[in-house]
Amino acid sequence: MSTLAPSNVPVVDIDPFSTEFLTDPYAAHQQMREAGPVVYLPKYEIYAMARHAEVHAVLGDWETFISSAGVGLANFRKETPFRPQSLILEADPPQHTKSRTVLSRVLSPKSVMALRTSFQAEAVALAERLLARCEIDAVKEIGEAYPLKVFPDAVGLTSDGRENLLAYGDMIFNAFGPRNELFANAVKRVGPTTQWIMANCQRAALRPGGLGDQIYQAVDSGELTEDEAPMLVRSFLSAGVDTTVNGIGNALYCLAQFPEQWAKLHANPALARPAFEEALRYESAVQTFFRTSSRDAEVGGVQITEGCKVLTFLGAANRDPCQWPNADVFDIERRPSGHMAFGSGIHGCVGQMVARLEGELVLGELAKRFKRIEITAPPTRRLNNTLRALGSLPLRLIPA
């Protein structure tokens, strides 16, 4: 329970990377939000923010709360990163600006608009195939199947072995946490996947004109070095799959748990985009991120000294009752704008328009064809140090 640390920061004795917490984090989120604007987690000797205002403040101040020392628990100033550091996620300006400029262009609204036709056709094809089915595992057959088809196609991956993207994602999102059993098991499973990933970041592995190749075009124009391009393709392959897999899986779980919400969506499939957005708020795929203080700072009246790891709970900020009325209610007709599921500030998700496009199209095409979706057996969780993820979601899809 909460006591006062010497520095007047409420101490909360929870482990946000434990099985218990990761299985159901919401009561602990509330405990942290109520304890204060900033809390101290003694197990990891870190500060943490679970309220919307302070999460927003920390993510908005990239000069004080830097990313170049890593956005996981590991402090890159003191330990070697487990993989070569990302040139965008784990970078500050000016390197971050250089990388971001290229990725923002490759993932611009115009560029994402150009993906819509093919992404829609795949969503239609998937939903039509499912009409012939009755009971499915929605994690595998929708959550994984759709992003694993459309995103690598858009990036331009030409080789076989896309399932490697799932194992790789599971590992890197576990790697943002402590070196616990979840991380150890992910590393064991990953095997030769890392080599596959790096091989597929090379220009020769990428279809000309795809999103990956467009990064290499910035080498041709002198904007990036030859070494930077494969690393930025790696960022696509790291950030673009497990996030949308779980964004879609979690959204289906929400909609299946609250049949009146599915009914609204079925009656008006144009609600697909706001429904996906609300699901991102309610069950955020990316739950947490760290920053490191580059100087002495003050957040919510609490002094934080230079060189500290600071943990922001995106998923808790997204349930903050000071930010949203009935924060624990899933309602596809609310306006969840301002949610933290894509982060915020200069590191806010650069691929969010692609993610939204995928979510909108999958939910929309399913909503047009199925009048109900029913959970037929208890879903299982795939615990991960960073992701809110399901292992399986047994659903019965009932055609309209």
Q: Please work out, in degrees rounded to the nearest 5, the angle formed at the alpha carbon of residue 359 by the alpha carbons of 351 and 90.
A: 25
Beta pairing, strands 390-392 & 297-299: unpaired
Q: Rank residues 31 and 67 by Cβ distance to ligand 4IA and give the closer one.
A: 67
Report the C-alpha dihedral over residues 233, 235, 239, 242, rounded to 10 degrees.
60
Give the shortest CB-98-to-ligand 4IA separation in angstroms: 14
User: What six digits make up the tokens of 73?
Assistant: 């628990």
Give the shortest CB-35-to-ligand 4IA separation in angstroms: 26
Under DSSP, the state recorded for 387 is: B
Q: Rank residues 171 and 367 by Cβ distance to ligand 4IA and give the closer one.
A: 171
Query: Sign (positive/negative) of CA torsion 222, 225, 230, 232?
Result: negative
Give the shortest CB-89-to-ligand 4IA separation in angstroms: 4
Beta pairing, strands 309-313 & 288-293: antiparallel
Q: Rank residues 36 and 249 by Cβ distance to ligand 4IA and give the closer one.
A: 249
User: What six digits make up the tokens of 10?
Assistant: 């409420």
Report the C-alpha dihedral over residues 27, 28, 31, 35, rounded to 10 degrees.
-160
Residues 292, 308: contact at Cβ < 8 Å?
yes
Q: Rank residues 10 and 359 by Cβ distance to ligand 4IA and give the closer one.
A: 359
* Distance in angstroms (rounded) separating the CA atoms of residues 275 and 272: 5
User: What six digits make up the tokens of 266?
Assistant: 């079925």
Give the shortest CB-337-to-ligand 4IA separation in angstroms: 20
Q: Rank residues 237 and 373 by Cβ distance to ligand 4IA and give the closer one.
A: 237
Give the shortest CB-91-to-ligand 4IA separation in angstroms: 9
Give the shortest CB-205-to-ligand 4IA separation in angstroms: 17
Phi, psi of 351 (to 5 degrees): -100, 15
Give the shortest CB-235-to-ligand 4IA separation in angstroms: 3
- 120: exposed, middle or buried (Cβ count in 10 Å: 0-12, 13-18, 19+): middle
Q: Rank residues 47 and 168 by Cβ distance to ligand 4IA and give the closer one.
A: 168
Q: Rank residues 237 and 302 by Cβ distance to ligand 4IA and give the closer one.
A: 237
Give the shortest CB-193-to-ligand 4IA separation in angstroms: 14
Interface residues toward ligand 4IA, by CB under 6 A: 86, 88-89, 235, 238-239, 243, 286
Token look-up 């990377």 returns: 17
Q: Rank residues 36 and 169 by Cβ distance to ligand 4IA and give the closer one.
A: 169
Q: Find the helix or strand (DSSP H, E) in which 135 lies.
A: strand 135-137
* Distance in angstroms (rounded) separating the CA atoms of residues 350 and 342: 9
**How far is residue 240 CA from its own chain's centroid?**
9
User: What six digits make up the tokens of 243?
Assistant: 């996030």
Q: Rank residues 277 and 331 by Cβ distance to ligand 4IA and give the closer one.
A: 277
Give the shortest CB-90-to-ligand 4IA separation in angstroms: 7
* Distance in angstroms (rounded) separating the CA atoms of residues 122 and 52: 36
Residue 233's identity, in one-letter code, is: V
Give the shortest CB-39-to-ligand 4IA separation in angstroms: 23
* Distance in angstroms (rounded) separating the CA atoms of residues 77 and 23: 32
Q: Rank residues 12 and 197 by Cβ distance to ligand 4IA and give the closer one.
A: 197
